[in-house]
Amino acid sequence: MTNRALILAAQTKGTFELKGEGFEAEDIRLMVQALRQLGVEIKETDRGLQIRNDLSWRGRQDEVKLFLGNSGTSMRFLTSLVTLRKGKTVLTGKDRMKERPLKDLVDTLRQVGVEIEYLEKEGFPPIRIKGKGQVSGENIRIRGDLSSQFISSILLSACSFSGPMELKILGEPVSHPYVELTRHQIASWTEKGTLVAKDRKIEGDASAAVYWWALGKLHDCHVTVTNVPKDTKQPDARFLSLLEEIPKSSAPDDEFDMNEMPDASLMMMAMAPLLDRPTKITRIGNLRVKETDRIEAMATELRKIGSEVAVGKDWIEIKPLKEVPLKTPPAGATMIDGNRNLISQALANLVDNAIKYTPSGGEVTVTAQETPQGVELHVADTGPGIPPGERIHAVERFVRLEASRNSPGTGLGLSLVAAVARLHDARLMLEDNTPGLKAIIRFPRSAQRTR
């Protein structure tokens, strides 16, 4: 909401205020910084931002370099805006920004005679734009299946195009409600086709509010977000309705089409392991071309906490975390001479492995005991176990056993434990737990510390 308002403010002549909260967010901070560099006077107040704009920035003919960090919104919206100035503008950002495609927006602006040069990789930032001062928007064609922000970028700056614009969107627009949000915001700024300078209240970002709404759902508590009105046009506010569809009791597998609110889909992914049924989120392929591949990034992090995750080109499916109790029967103090960090990592790997392969309803038991041979650490599970003939291979690097414990992994877990054991002259043994597997690290008596 705020960055759309700032692009419109840059084209509005007069003095006025944008009132609201959250203007310190990085995306907004980078946009404000860029507009200041272009020549728009923006002052921070205790109520928000004061704009003093005589539109003289459009007549400047110097070259300006704008660093936009990882703010994809700023990059896309400013690409169209700076075509309205007469000087040259370089738009750049962090390394990941240079991997985010911009070609379709650039191709669209080239249709109306804007000169744009790629400075490094074809189709990606950084770019240099030679502004025309005046842009005619007649008969513009743009693909709709890549990013709604490309379309919003054109619409926002079209407020200052010379003459009427006809924009033809090719294909089904992705995240179409965001385009409607842009149209609604433009309409609220204009009277008889002219941008009007007056103080405006800017809504809070519903994309940020979804995290608090989800918190209320997960903990069955009351959460109030005060600066997102009930009648908001923001697509991510629909997340509230989606939360109402999630039952608290057991239900069949469910599927959510989140094409119209892809940003909120990240929160749904984070919630999914805590729900009591598998959750599939679909039609979110454009998340792969953000500041990172958000689908793969979320899948990677969810797997780290033990979630089972499957991904496709435009979907992700997440299963609930298993309920596997971890038991540690009481025992006397047992001391070992050794590297506590390495031994702790070895124990953590064994416990992680045991939980990963134990079905919901099973259990994992961790014990330490003194024996005539020395000190033993035991980690036992009630999973599928490993056949005796395959156990010798289970501790080899990059070996994963397909016949039994065959969930995704690197194949390094047990090999790392074996390596730590060897460093301490200890031994890693794998035995039957009936059912399941018992992993034992036996430290020699020489490693036992006397008390």
Q: Could you tell me the pLDDT band of residue 406, with boundaries at 50, 70 and 90?
A: very low
- The tens digit of pLDDT for each residue in 35-56 reads 999 999 999 998 899 999 999 9
Query: Mean pLDDT in the chain?
Result: 85
- Tens of pLDDT, residue by residue over 141-171, are 888 777 888 888 999 988 888 877 788 888 7
Q: How do strand 437-444 and strand 427-432 relate by DSSP bridges?
A: antiparallel
Q: How far apart are CA 238 and CA 232, in angstroms?
A: 10
Residue type, 257: D
pLDDT of 293 > 60? The answer is yes
Q: What does the H/E/C string look like for the chain?
A: CHHHHHHHHHCCCEEEEEECCCCCCHHHHHHHHHHHHHCCEEEECCCEEEEEECCHHHHCCCCEEEECCCCHHHHHHHHHHHHHCCCEEEEECCCCHHHCCCHHHHHHHHCCCCEEEECCCCCCCCEEEECCCCCCCCCEEEECCCCHHHHHHHHHHHHHCCCCCCEEEECCCCCHHHHHHHHHHHHHHEECCEECCCCEECCCCHHHHHHHHHHHHHHCCCCCCCCCCCCCCCHHHHHHHHHHHCCCCCCCCEEEECCCCHHHHHHHHHHHHHCCCCEEEECCHHHHHCCCCHHHHHHHHHHHCCCCEEECCCCEEECCCCCCCEECCCCCCCCECCCHHHHHHHHHHHHHHHHHHCCCCCCEEEEEEEECCEEEEEEEECCCCCCHHHHHHHCCCCCCCCCCCCCCCCCCHHHHHHHHHHHCCCEEEEEECCCCEEEEEEEEHHHECCC
Are residues 96 and 291 in contact, defined by beta-carbon separation less than 8 angstroms?
Answer: yes
Residue 411 banded pLDDT, cuts 50, 70, 90: very low
Residue 60: pLDDT over 60? yes
Separation in Å, CA 384 to CA 131, 354, 393, 395, 423: 66, 10, 16, 17, 29
Active site (annotated) includes residue 95: no
* pLDDT band at residue 9 under the 50/70/90 scheme: very high
- Tell me phi and psi for residue 386, to 5 degrees: -130, 125
| Tens digit of each residue's pLDDT (9 = 90 or more) over 67-106 | 999 898 999 999 999 999 999 999 999 998 998 889 999 9
Q: Which of 104, 205, 236, 263 is catalytic?
A: 263
| Verdict on whether the full-model pTM lies above 0.85 | no
Q: Are 206 and 239 in contact (CB under 8 A)?
A: yes
Bigger pLDDT: 409 or 351? Answer: 351
Can you tell me the mean pLDDT for 332-336?
A: 72
Mean of pLDDT values over 101-119? 90
Name residue 428's beta-bridge partners. Answer: 441
Domains contained in the chain, CATH given: 2-201 (3.65.10.10), 206-318 (3.65.10.10), 326-447 (3.30.565.10)
Quote the CA–CA distance of 69 and 99 in Å, as a whole number: 12
Q: Is-contact 290 317, C-beta < 8 A?
A: no
Confidence of residue 341 (pLDDT cuts 50, 70, 90): confident
| pLDDT tens string 259-281 | 888 889 999 999 988 887 889 99
